Amino acid sequence: MSRQDRLESDLDRGFTALEEGRIDEAAAAVERCQRIDRGNADVVLLSAAVADARGDAENAIALYGRLVELRPDDPMPRICAARIQLRDLGDPDAALQMLADAFDFIDEETDLIEAVIVRTEALIANLQLEDARDALAELASSVIDDSELALDLAELALAAEDAAAATRWIEIARKDPSLAADALHLLGRVHEATDDRAQMIAAWQQVRALDAKADGQTSVSISEDELERIASAALAELPAEVRTHLERVPILIDDLPSEALVADGLDPRSLGVFEGTPMPEGGDLAASVTSIHLFRKNLERVATDLDELAEEVRITVLHETAHYFGLDEEDLERIGLD
């Protein structure tokens, strides 16, 4: 087998391994390829993709920059580098600068969609909402039948405060029965943003009904006893003056918010809620809590493992407590919620 044949074979193995999530195998393929031809554009691409998958943002950006030099008319390296600048390094200005030239070379719809998404996210991060709406409007005429992508675009439109565009994308997503609950939940949030409380509740009541019928298969599950133990441990982290108000407050575990709570306007996918009277903004009256509700199915849905689930429970309990008792920034920092 010639060197070129070995190179092409290892590149195929590397890209396949990366696509299947076998990052170490892909990295091993990169090493073999680099020994044959380090300057080959496809080798640089595989190297960049592996660095990206490993979370090595700086190295990935450098490699994508090198790929821009090797393939100056290819928009993909610029789009990938911009995505890393934005999502991994939190630098929307750098992302926008990187994307500036990419649009001159885009001729594939998949590249256009990715570039528009990253650009819109960066503009939203910079609070340039009007520009974000304009950017997202570039996809208005695109023929998008991918329901999950449509739901992502609806999320972006909502973040850009374009309720009409969000609703249009949601209608596309709702064509997929498996996404019906997610699409309706987002529709409820759109109605919430536009102060249409009746329509918000109507959408969220449908979400609750669908979630209640779902088979409940999640990445992780937790017992009521363990959930209560984690919540109690979180309460123990609170300042003493707050703990005294919660010593006899029951922690109630439900699978989902009740129909009554949703009818009262509670998000059916809330992770937890305190019932009682929160401290008013002026702090003149004492807050009172009559019960702490945690919603097991919702908590299980957002976690990928038990450690993440435990942290979600902790954050839910502490954030709800902060909301009720008007804890200040110093208090939040003291309990790790700054």
Residue 318 has pLDDT above 70, yes or no: yes
Q: What is the pTM of this model?
A: 0.85
Alpha-carbon gap, residue 215 to 220, rounded angstroms? 14
Summarised one tens digit per residue, pLDDT across range 61-109 is 999 999 999 999 999 999 999 999 999 999 999 999 999 989 989 989 8
What is the DSSP secondary-structure string of 145-206?
--HHHHHHHHHHHHHTT-HHHHHHHHHHHTTSGGGHHHHHHHHHHHHHHTT-HHHHHHHHHH
What does the radius of gyration of the chain's CA atoms come to, in whole angstroms?
24
**Position 300 pLDDT exceeds 70:** yes
Q: Which domains does the chain have, with CATH numbers?
A: 3-140+149-163 (1.25.40.10), 144-148+164-214 (no CATH), 224-334 (3.30.2010.20)
Residue 202 pLDDT more than 80?
yes
Question: Which three-class secondary structure state does DSSP give residue 29?
Answer: helix
Instruction: Identify the band that residue 1 occupies on the pLDDT scale cut at 50, 70 and 90.
Output: confident
CA dihedral 188, 275, 278, 185 (to 10 degrees): -10
Distance between CA 187 and CA 173 in Å, rounded?
11
Strand order in the sheet with 272-277: 251-254, 288-295, 272-277
Percent of the chain whose predicted confidence (pLDDT) is above 90 = 66
**What SS3 state is found at 272?**
strand
In this prediction, residues 297-302 reach a mean pLDDT of 92
In the predicted structure, residue 153 carries a pLDDT above the cut 60: yes
- Arithmetic mean of pLDDT, 254-263: 95
Cβ atoms of 132 and 120 closer than 8 Å: yes
Q: What is the pLDDT of residue 327?
A: 66
Beta bridge partners of 253: 294
Beta pairing partners, 292: 251, 274
The number of beta carbons lying within 10 Å of the beta carbon of residue 41 is 15
Euclidean distance between CA atoms 193 and 199, whole angstroms: 11
284 pLDDT above the threshold of 50: no
pLDDT over 60 at 175, yes or no: yes
For the chain, how long is the longest CA-to-CA vector? 82
Write out pLDDT tens, residues 14-46: 999 999 999 999 999 999 999 999 999 999 999
Look-up: residue for tokens 């954030």? 319
Whether 180 and 174 have beta carbons less than 8 Å apart is answered as: yes
